[in-house]
């Protein structure tokens, strides 16, 4: 199968002939996809089409699912992340994850951000940790809202603030890639707009892959879009081309609401 390429040498993530099985059930079929560094790649398609299953392959979260089996290869920076010698803990430090529902730890705002850097021994003293926490919260556009209550529980924040806290937590260990699995689906329109603005800012520092049920969101925030259907990639290209001039009739039918 011809690879789905980002038409650029600046490839961060490269999937080749990826097949994913949950027991006897096959969830992904021959996924070939290149994703560029410091871009937002959106994965769209109806529920159950394999979008979330695919991004969970990128940080090997599917390893935690009993009976899960993967074929093919996924490379980050030209290194196979399914190499038997690879340290999965290190991989998950390099590939952050933000989930559909905000899931702050039952800890203070400060500790939510500090937890992983402390675990990975990234800082030497409290002053360094204070700086890291502040910088992470600033990058997540949350610092000004929480700087006077860092000892308050993260769970006491609003839904939109909780999701930005989870983004701050993800970027605190300075990953190369951030995976986002429908990060705005539980948020109101104002909070969604804040997160979308944040994603646009973060792509300067990180490679972002976002699963979204909202085609309008994909059109607003991504540079490349892949349309998934029944575990296969139907079409992949520049977002503007996918939404204004798709090459495949099935893509056109999905975007115009004829199929769902």
For 85-133, write each residue's pLDDT tens digit.
999 999 999 999 999 999 999 999 999 999 999 988 999 999 999 999 9
pLDDT given at position 2? 44
User: Mean pLDDT over all residues of the chain?
Assistant: 94
pLDDT given at position 257? 84
pLDDT given at position 260? 57
Predicted confidence (pLDDT) per residue in 35-45, tens digit = 999 999 999 99
pLDDT given at position 4? 52
Percent of the chain topping pLDDT 70 = 96
pLDDT given at position 7? 47
Predicted confidence (pLDDT) per residue in 62-79, tens digit = 998 999 999 999 999 999
pLDDT given at position 127? 97
pTM for the model: 0.92
Give the residue-averaged pLDDT of 228-243: 97
Percent of the chain topping pLDDT 90 = 91
Domain residue extents for the chain: 11-104+178-255
As given in the structure block, the two tokens for residue 27 are: 């969830």
Sheet containing 68-76: give its strands across: 25-36, 11-22, 68-76, 79-80
pLDDT score of 83 more than 80: yes
Q: In terms of Cα–Cα distance, which of 43, 32, 34, 31 is closest to 12? A: 34
Which of the listed CATH numbers 3.20.20.450, 2.60.120.380, 3.10.129.10, 3.40.50.300 matches domain 11-104+178-255?
3.40.50.300
User: Residue 236's CB: how many other CB atoms inside 10 A?
Assistant: 23
User: Using CA atoms, how far apart are residues 227 and 196, in angstroms rounded to an integer?
Assistant: 20
pLDDT given at position 202? 95
Strand duo 25-36 + 207-211: pairing: unpaired
Top-confidence residue, 1 or 232: 232
Predicted confidence (pLDDT) per residue in 121-171, tens digit = 999 999 999 999 999 999 999 999 999 999 999 999 999 999 999 999 999
pLDDT score of 5 more than 70: no
Q: In terms of Cα–Cα distance, which of 73, 100, 68 is closest to 84? A: 73
Predicted confidence (pLDDT) per residue in 176-216, tens digit = 999 999 999 989 999 999 999 999 999 999 999 999 999 99
pLDDT given at position 145? 97
Length of the chain: 260
User: Using CA atoms, how far apart are residues 98 and 211, in angstroms rounded to an integer?
Assistant: 10
């Amino acid at each position: 199968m011809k690879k789905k390429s980002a038409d650029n040498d600046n490839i961060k993530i490269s999937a080749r002939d990826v097949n994913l099985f949950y027991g006897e059930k096959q969830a992904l079929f021959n996924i070939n996809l290149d994703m560029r560094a410091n871009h937002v790649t959106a994965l769209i398609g109806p529920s159950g089409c394999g979008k979330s299953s695919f991004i969970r392959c990128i940080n090997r979260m599917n390893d935690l699912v009993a009976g899960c089996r993967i074929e093919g290869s996924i490379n980050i920076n030209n290194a196979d992340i399914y190499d038997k010698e690879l340290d999965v803990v290190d991989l998950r430090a390099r590939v952050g994850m933000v989930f559909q529902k905000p899931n702050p730890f039952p800890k203070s705002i400060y500790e939510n951000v500090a937890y992983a850097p402390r675990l990975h021994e990234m800082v030497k003293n409290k002053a360094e940790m204070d700086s890291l926490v502040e910088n992470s919260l600033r990058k997540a556009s949350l610092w000004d809202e929480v700087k006077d209550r860092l000892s308050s529980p993260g769970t006491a924040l609003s839904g939109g603030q909780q999701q930005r806290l989870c983004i701050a937590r993800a970027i605190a260990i300075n990953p190369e890639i951030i995976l986002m699995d429908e990060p705005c689906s539980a948020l109101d329109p104002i909070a969604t707009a804040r997160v979308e603005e944040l994603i646009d800012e973060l792509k300067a520092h990180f490679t972002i892959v976002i699963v979204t049920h909202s085609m309008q969101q994909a059109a607003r925030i991504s540079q490349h879009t892949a349309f998934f259907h029944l575990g296969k990639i139907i079409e992949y290209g520049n977002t503007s081309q996918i939404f204004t001039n798709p090459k495949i009739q099935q893509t056109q039918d999905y975007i115009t609401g004829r199929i769902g």
